[in-house]
Every structure is written in C-alpha cells, then in structure tokens.
Chains A and B, each alone.
Chain A
Amino acid sequence: MLSSDLKPEQFKSYPPESRKLITNYLGALQTLPLSFVPNLLREAIDYDFKFPAERRALERELENLQSVSTSHSGESSLQGQKDWFEGFARITLSPQLEQMDWVNSPAQFVEQLSTHLWATHQVDAFRKAATDYADRLHGKVPPERPPIPRLGIAVIGQNVSNHEEPLFRKLRPHGGYFSGIKPEGGLKILLDVVGARARLHPIPYGHWYVDGGEEAEHSSDLTCISYHALEPVRAALLRKMRAEIETPGMGPEALRTLLAQMNPPELGFGQAGDQVLDRFQLKLLTEGSGTQIFSTTFVQWSTREALRRAQPCTLLVRFAPRQRQKPMNELLSDKQGPPELDPVGSLMDADLGAYYNWMNQQRLSGADQSSFLVWFENHSEAVAIGPTMPRGTESTTPTDLSELLSLIT
C-alpha cells in the first residue's frame, strides 16, 4: 500500500485523539513518500500518551505539512513538496515493505525500513533526507521557547569518598569550576530550588526529578521517577524477557517487537497511575539498552528521553551507584553473594552522563539562556554553566549551592 491509498477507516484501531489528529491531516499525508509517512505515524499513533510539548510539536509539524501541500496550487505546490521531500522520494523501498501493514504497525515498519536502508546502502541518503527535513522544519516552524530559562542539575558520585581522575573534564571548559562548595544539606537545597521553580511556574511535566536510587523527599509539584520505585517493574520485565527468549522461533527482532507492544498494566504499573508517565517509564525500560540492569544507564537514558520528549524547564537528576559487573572468575566461582555496588565506576559513568545531560539540554530551544549545574554529592566540587558564567574559570571561594545557583539563574 502506498501513502496515496490512505483512508480514514484504516485508523480505526488508533487511540481516539490520535485517530482524530491523523484523519484531520489525511489529505496531506496522502501526498507524501512512503519512506516518510510511517515515521510520522509512529509518533502520531502515541499522540494520546505524549507529553504536552511533543503533542504541540506534532500538531505544528502536521499543520506545516498541510500548508506545504495546499498553500499553493498546481505546479508551485508540487515544487514545494519536491523541495521538502525530494530526498525521501529517492529512497527505493522493497515490495515487502510496501505490503506491510504500516498504518497499524508503523514502528515495525520503521524497524524493517532501517534494516532495508542499511542492506541497500541507502542509510546515508535517508539520513541526509531526514536532516534536511528537520533543518527545514526548524526554519519554518521554530521550536517553542521555554516559558522560563531551562535549568539542569546533575548530582553525581553518591557514596564515593574519593577519586583519582579529575572530575567534570568535559564540562569545565563551558563554565566555572568551583572547588570550595559547602556540601552540607546540598541535596535538600537543590531539591528545594527545583520545587520552588515548579510551584512558581506550574507547567504540566515541566519540572522533573530523576533518581538512580531511592528518591529523596521532594515537592509533589515535580514529576518524579526513580530506579528504586521501578524495581518490581524491572524484575517483571526481565522475567518476561527470559521467558520469551526460550520460546522456539524467538529472535531479536521478534523480541523487540514484542517489547514495543507491551502495555503498562502488563508490567504492573499502577492502575490509577498517570498514563503518560507510565508509558514513558515503560519505554525507558523496553527501548533503552541497559536501563533494566544499570541504574547509571537508567538515569542517563531517562534524562535524554525526558529532555527530548517532555522538554522540561527544570530537571534535577541524581545518579546512584549501579550494581557491580562481576568479572568472569567471580561468576564462575561457587561462592555467590548478594549483588554488590560499584560506586567508583558509577562516578565515572555519571561524570560522562552529566555531560550528555548538558548536551541534550543544549539541543533544546532557548539554549542561549539555559543553565546547568553538576555537583559531586557531599563534596566540594561543582561546575556551573550559564549565560553569565565565564567559561573555563575556576574558583576556590567557599560557596554554598544556593549561592552558586543564583549565579547562573
């Protein structure tokens, strides 16, 4: 089936708001290349469970597609479409892809498309088409600026008493390095600040707290997820995965498809929970690699996805020690103890994770006004980055974390 064959009744299995959204723009979708449309449907099919920021972005993208296809008439309209989608139109698809039920299974189509693109050496062409499209879209429909400048905070190194390698090497050139931080009550200070921002600027899913261990006491105005709270879900997921891989005929693609089709209740998410947040957490565990096993990976990936999808104004993340990866000789030993933690390895994970958090924050709109703070928990080291903070500077002056935050926000 090609895009031009799309009909409203084909979307009857879509969730209600998603169905309504798509059918409103069906005319535009019918004119677009098949290499493009399922990618859009993969996002749209989850519209009912998306964060407000990504819903608005999707609506604006569809509005733009409508305008590209209808704003001009005749030849100029065709030229407009050609300009936007020439790269996608050049992608050659296989008959098998065209015959897939890509309306109802857009994610599976995209997975198969990816395999096809790599195997036919078209992945670079697709990548360029996607990049060109995104650049053009950002030019025509600039991302919304945040209502207040964004603030990202990373707390790393829980339970580490000392370390050999210098910390924050990748972040220091972008801001000020402070080695005289007063650590007393530091976490509470930071949580109070982000809680106050949430109270002062109530925005749905606009202020987040992610913890790699057990969450500390925090404002109920924050959207909070933690590795500890998800322990029963993680255990249920691992049991499910182990059972599935023992099923005859189960391969990696089939397993991935199965995971992608799971619903929050299957893994025991709260009956009266927040459907949007439950789905988000489910995807963290079913789509993220290593998030089920290592808390540091969970925090880094959660942060990346929260920034990419919810685009929060405030995001405090606290890394916690992950379980220690046992070397082979220990695994082969008959002596098996309880899982151990690896605080020093986790500090190294988190140090780079904090850098990735900052980079992902800076990919969002309003980056020129955004601020970022990373603090070595219960220690005197921190880096602060913000529009008014001189880059590559160092300070040994005794400073508490609220003072430091006031320098960058």
Chain B
Amino acid sequence: MTNPSRSADGRELTRRLGLSRRDFLRDAAKLAVGSALLGSGTLASAGVASKNRKVVVITFGGGARDQETFAPEGQGNIPHLMSELIPQSTFFTQVVNRGILGHYVATASLATGVYETINNFASLPPEHPTVFEYFRKDRKRPASDAWVVAPSNGFNRIGESSHRSYGAGLGARVILPKHLLTAALSSGHSDYQHLLRDNYETPYYAPELGGSEVELEQLERILNLSVEDFKAHARTLSSPDELSVYIVRQLMRQEAPSLLWITMHDIDVAHAGAYSLYIEGIRRTDRLCAEIWKAIQSEAEYAGKTTLFILPDFGRDSDEDSGGNGFQHHRTGDAPSRTTWMMALGAGVRENVVFDRPLESTDLVPTIGAMLDFSPSLAQGKQISELA
C-alpha cells in the first residue's frame, strides 16, 4: 500500500503552522497579535459606504509553502509582501481549505463560499452561486461591475454558476488574457503552444471554451486596447501573470469594476518539478501583488475605498510526507497543503494586526458580502468578524 506517512493530528499541525506564521511575522514585520489588541491597529479609511466600496481579490496563484515564503529562510522571496503589504494589513495565519485541492475547483469554492465538488479539469460552472452573482443580483449591478481575470481556459466558467436561482446573466465577465493572446497571434508555432499551455496540473490539455469570456473583438471596445498594442505589450512581459496584471490595470482604468477577482498562476509551474522556476514564480507573484496594490492606491476610482484580499487557494505538499514529492504537487491533503493564510488591506481594515484563529476558505464570500452589502444566502462560510 502507498502513503506510509506518519503525521500528527492534522488540526494540530494546522494550528502549529498558524503559530509559526505569526511568530515569523511578529519577528520580521513587527505585526501585533490581534486577539489581544483588537483596538490598537490603525483602521484604514474607515467608514466607506458600501455603495462606494470596491473589493479586489487576488489568489496567490498556485500555492506556496511557508519555507519558501513566510519562514525565515523564505522571506527573501517575498520582499514586497513582507515590507510593504503586511505592515498595512490584517493578516490571518490559518486559512484552512477543507475541499478538493485542484486549482479550478478550489478557486470556485473560494468564489462560492461552498466546497465545490465539480471536476477540476472539465469546463463546468460552479454549482453554487458565486460572489459575483450575489453581488449583482442583490445590488442590481450591471455585468460591467464584476470581473474575473483568470490564467487559463479552465477558468472560463468561474464567473457564473449553474444554480437555477442565479446563473445565466447574473455572473461576472471573465477575461482570459492567455486566450486573448492566442487569438491575437495570427501565426502560431510550437513555442506558442508551450507558452500558452493551459494548466500546470495537466500541462498538455486545455478544455474547450464556452462561457461568457471576453473575445478578441471586445478587446478594443471594453479595454480601449487595440490588438496590435496588446500584442506589442505582451512582447515586453515575461509571464502570463504579468499579462494578467496588465489586463487588470486596463480594466481598472476603463471599467473600474466594484468587484474584481484575479487568479495568479505562475507559481504552479512547480508541477514541472523545477524548484528554481517555482521560486521565480513566487518572487514574481510577490512583485505583481505589490503592483496591483499600488494601482489601487493610484487610481482615483479605487484609492481610499478599496479592500484588497490576497490569499492562496491552498498550499503545497510538505517535504515530510512520503505520499507526495515536496513542493511539486498538492496531492496529499496533508496539513501544509490545506493550510494557507490571508491578508486584507485597504478600506475598513486594521493595519499591522495578525490573527491566529482558524478560518476556512469559504469564509471569504460572506465577508465580502458584509462589505459590499449583499447576502450570500447559500454560502457555507462565516463572516470574518475581525474584518467587520
């Protein structure tokens, strides 16, 4: 039989992971422990009315482990998170994902507040209403006010569920930058295919498209971006996530959606087993998160009224679990692969505070609901009181 690993109780390991993160952050970023000091942090831009408020969510793509990020030996890989973002944030050290550890299904779970069980590799919508549908239906918002920027074709259905009370016409617009780039490149060759591979979990397979994703001809109308400009700019970028951030900035300027969801994915190159590329992905994602935060602060439509959430969809396997192969995958379901973190910063969020209590990935949607004044009635998570 496989999997002869010996592990302590999963919940205990999860707790220890959270405490380690708190200690690392307390030492390196001088964060205060929130549970005892709730009132001590600076409340950034308190009192933003929900009708003016905006929320941006970044999934810290592909998942990264503590030893390559928050642990002392990993902090050099995330200088922007450590020195710029965390001091401005409320940081949660234990966010547990009890669902399926595949990127599409886990991101769908984050977006619905329910642990989805859809096939990770099929082109299927979430079964439960998404945060975008709750927001648009309750707040009577147009499609242009909720957007998803996602890395791969597999995410093209994430904006809108199959739930009969929500679904069709109520979801987010989805933009797949790599798909747009594929369409923009008139002459393909094999290296393009290598570049545009859809998913690091199944690198040779890309599902059929079939959602409400933005097509190439809409690029100019929506983003005010010509195909030639788009191609020319893509030629200056080093990775698909950089392309996503470029699109995000265009969206913020042209559409200024109130709810904007960005899934990063470069880190997931780890599935190819090359550690140096995984580290490179972490460093790039760290930089891109800071760029988005700067964009939020510099765009008039966003500055002072936006709350930014950054969280991985889940972690990666530990070195110690013989059932896995360390950083390469997220297959074991061990505590490090299920336990992540979340930081919130910006409007209505206390700065420089860390909380140890365990949250679940599904708590994000109810929390956004409280901020944007909608009721995610079918979400299973709980509103995070520390962000109320």
Contacts and interface: CB of A to CB of B under 8 A. Distances in A.
How many A residues are at the interface, by size bracket?
35 or more
Given A118-B100, A345-B274, A242 B195 contact: no
B194 A134 contact: no
A389 interface: no
Given A40-B1, A251-B122, A327-B238, A297 B194 contact: no
Contact of A131 (B4, B192, B202, B319): B4
A150 interface: no
Contacts of B119: 115
Interface string B191-221: 1101100000011111100000000000000
A327 B328 CA distance: 20
A135 interface: yes
A270 to B, nearest CB: 26
A35 to B, nearest CB: 11
B317 to A, nearest CB: 12
A120 B116 CA distance: 10
A289 B192 contact: no
Interface stretch (B229-237, B249-257, B354-362): B229-237
B235 A332 contact: yes
Interface string A119-142: 111011001001101110110000
B274 A296 contact: yes
Contact of A253 (B117, B121, B323, B333): B121
Given A289-B329, A293-B272, A329-B237, A345 B204 contact: no
A348 B279 contact: yes
A115 B205 CA distance: 18
Nearest to B189: A336
B243 A245 contact: no
A188 interface: no
B242 interface: yes
B377 interface: no
Contact of B234 (A251, A332, A353): A332
Contact of B73 (A169, A242, A293): A169
Contact of B273 (A39, A40, A300, A342): A300
Contact of B274 (A242, A288, A297, A344): A297
A-side interface mostly: helix
Contacts of A120: 117
A294 interface: yes
A346 B272 CA distance: 13
B322 A327 contact: no
A127 B333 contact: yes
Nearest to A329: B235
B2 interface: yes
Contacts of A169: 73
B3 A131 contact: yes
Contacts of B101: 118
Interface in B6-53: 6-7, 10
Contact of A356 (B194, B203, B239, B325): B325
B226 interface: no
A325 interface: yes
A301 B324 CA distance: 11
Nearest to B7: A131
B235 A333 contact: yes
A245 B235 contact: no
B300 interface: no
B6 A329 contact: no
Contacts of B151: none
Contacts of A346: 276
A225 B262 CA distance: 43
A314 interface: no
B329 A331 contact: no
Nearest to A254: B205
A128 B191 CA distance: 44
A338 interface: no
Contact of B204 (A39, A137, A245, A348): A245
A251 B205 contact: yes
A248 to B, nearest CB: 10
Interface pairs A-B: 3 shortest CB-CB: A297-B273, A134-B4, A290-B272
Given A131-B3, A342-B276, 10 more contacts: A121-B115, A245-B204, A255-B204, A255-B205, A290-B274, A322-B274, A328-B195, A332-B192, A349-B273, A351-B275
Interface of A: 36, 39-40, 61, 115, 118-121, 123-124, 127, 130-131, 133-135, 137-138, 169, 241-242, 245, 250-253, 255, 288-291, 293-294, 296-297, 300-301, 304, 322, 325-329, 331-333, 336, 342, 344-346, 348-349, 351-353, 355-356, 359-360, 363
6 contacts: A252-B121, A289-B273, A300-B325, A328-B237, A332-B195, A332-B231
